[in-house]
Amino acid sequence: MFKNLFSFKNTIQNLYKPGSYDLEPYQRLLADIDKIQLSTLRNEGLKNMSAGLKRQVQEGVSPDQLLPEAFALVRKVAHRVTGMRPFDVQMIAGIAMHQGKIAEMQTGAIGKTLNKIQSIGKSI
């Protein structure tokens, strides 16, 4: 009985341990996002891009295939609206949340709100 209790305790404790993760897939996606230049687009162009992405999803294109364009768009819109450009770590957190994962940022980390914009942006 005690053996099972200790096993359960260890399982629960491991849930709260920060893990180490392979960030390479996220860094590759981030590089793809960074290659997309939207600074020349006016607001109307950004709206058209958003509508185009939404149309593609409605036509059956996987949101994962559109991830670089969608996240580049959300990053640009966040910058224009708030004056703050999401940092790479915030983009990675947004990608993780898009994939249904939990993204933990340390207390005092800058921009926890901005990384949520990424996951909200996928529903627009």
Architecture per CATH, domain 24-121, reads as 3-Layer(aba) Sandwich (3.40)
Residue 119: HSE in the Cβ half-sphere, 13 Å Cα cutoff = 17
Q: Any idea what the Cα angle at residue 62 is, between residues 60 and 68, rounded to 5°?
A: 135
pTM as predicted? 0.73
Confidence of residue 7 (pLDDT cuts 50, 70, 90): low
pLDDT over 70 percentage in the chain: 69
The mean pLDDT value for 15-23 works out to 66
**pLDDT (mean) for 43-72:** 96
